[in-house]
Amino acid sequence: MTLPEPHQATDFLRGLAPELKPLEVTGPCHADQHGKRRAALAARIAQQGGGLVILSSGEEIVRNRDTTFPFRGDSDFLYMTGFPEPDAWWLMQVSPDGKTKNVIACRPRDIEREIWDGIRIGPEQAAERFGMDCAIEISELDRTVIALAANLPAIYAHLANHHDSDQKLRQWLHALRAQARAGVNAPDRIIDFGQSIARQRLVKDSSEISTMRQAANFSAAGHIRAMRFTRPGHREYEIEAELLHAFRSAGSQSVAYGSIVAAGPHSCILHHRAGVRAIRDEELVLVDAGCELDGYASDITRTFPANGKFTAHQRAAYDVVLAAQEAATKATQVGESFTAPHTAAVRVLTQGLLDLGLIPKQSLEGAVDSGAYKRFYMHRTGHWLGLDVHDVGDYNTRLTPGMVLTIEPGLYIRPAEDIDPGFWNTGIRIEDDALVTSGEAELLTRGVPVAADAIEALMRKPD
């Protein structure tokens, strides 16, 4: 990594200016949808008397010293604008009659910084490219917010997400109240509109589904690569490297979350990060990983034998988890509650634990009601999926076409005196991304095998 010279050659920089073209920066991925999303939000705000929406993309975060993490914008900001840069703000003035004015505030063009950090879009291009009424430099943000919020009844913003944003809200309100003697009325309400946007994001439109389908295919290819690569003696981080290679080679921009690669006893740790431990013969390997494409997450978990062949105990437990996933998938139907898949999975897992002798003999209903299964299954069967891997949305809701959720039952059997040693260190999770449709749920991630026989066959194939 290079460091800038203390004095840049100004003439040299000016000579490069024509080569720095904001139009070469990737445009919004769902450009035809952002305006519709803003209009839907504006209609709800107009019904409440109007107001000013204020939303930040976020700032770059320092990793250490003068090195930053790769920037990824706030998900609500991306959903409403598609604007990819840090230090940007979206303002939407909504009048009581529903008329709107959309403004993007962003960093100005800076030839010197662009040579080091990349091309900026700049306000000169931002409005047209991102469907805004106007664009301003970030230095004009305070003045613009105060002008747009004057005499409106409310400000709509995220509250308690970031200290700096909360501080700015206080400053803007203070400045507005100071104009009272000049006849300016300050908003008397600050409304956290996070749940309002969450309701919009919960049901995906066709462009979102298309992106998520592609992300699922990229991730499935990564899991296939990892399975084919894995052999006893390989280390967990080597398998992670195969996943990352596949994700980026396919065209994804990032992982959707920190990849979980867990072998042997680590497979019973729900969020184990890939470490240096060498994988041993007859161990299971649990891989929970997915890529992010154009902001949208995929999320797949597969569990497979390091040597390509399940032991009898591993196969018995695996088949129980797979049956639980099948039951949960059948329960993922329009009109059902979000909890219906979990309820279905728990019943199958509990019966399997009874059949395998892992919990004391009793009735199925008694074992479910007492929570006897929780020793081996301690998490929910799924979560919403979208711009965030654990996406926003009300979990006390009925399933509707266009919703996307994960279905991921599991069993985690640790060594214990009352457990058959053949089951020790058996951690199994099977996870797919499910799109709710008017009929059966569509599993977007079945590009990677899930049945035990199919996994063994895949691992026997030459690379």
Residue 63 catalytic? no
Alpha carbon distance 96, 256 (integer Å): 39
Alpha carbon distance 208, 436 (integer Å): 14
Residue 288 catalytic? yes
Please report, as a single letter, which amino acid is at residue 150: A
Nearest Cα neighbor of 239 from 284, 287, 281 is 287
Residue 140 catalytic? no
Residue 271 catalytic? yes
Question: Of the listed 271, 417, 418, 463, which one is catalytic?
Answer: 271
Residue 405: phi and psi, rounded to 5, are: -140, 160
Which contiguous run of DSSP H or E holds residue 92?
A: strand 89-94
Q: Where are the alpha helices (DSSP H) in 23-74?
A: 31-47
State the virtual CA torsion across 159, 162, 164, 168 in degrees, nearest 10.
-20
Question: Of the listed 34, 383, 391, 456, which one is catalytic?
Answer: 383
Question: Of the listed 76, 236, 240, 299, which one is catalytic?
Answer: 299
15 to 6, 224, 233: CA distances (angstroms): 19, 48, 55
**By the 8 A CB rule, do 167 and 134 touch?**
no
Residue 142 catalytic? no
Alpha carbon distance 308, 305 (integer Å): 5
Q: Report residue 24 as tokens.
A: 């070469």
**DSSP secondary structure letter of residue 416:** -
Question: Of the listed 277, 315, 379, 380, which one is catalytic?
Answer: 379
Residue 158 catalytic? no
Residue 245 catalytic? no
Alpha carbon distance 404, 393 (integer Å): 11
b/e map 416-444, b = 16+ CB within 10 Å: eeebeeebebbbbbbbbbbbbeeeebbbb
Question: Of the listed 236, 242, 388, 408, which one is catalytic?
Answer: 408
Residue 242 catalytic? no
Residue 342 catalytic? no
Q: Report residue 302 as tokens.
A: 């597969």
Question: Of the listed 5, 24, 66, 97, which one is catalytic?
Answer: 66
Bridging pattern class, strands 154-157 and 51-56: parallel
Alpha carbon distance 235, 139 (integer Å): 50
Question: Of the listed 283, 412, 433, 456, which one is catalytic?
Answer: 412
Alpha carbon distance 129, 88 (integer Å): 15
**DSSP secondary structure letter of residue 17:** G
Question: Of the listed 76, 288, 294, 456, which one is catalytic?
Answer: 288
Residues forming the active site? 66, 271, 288, 299, 379, 383, 390, 408, 412, 429, 431
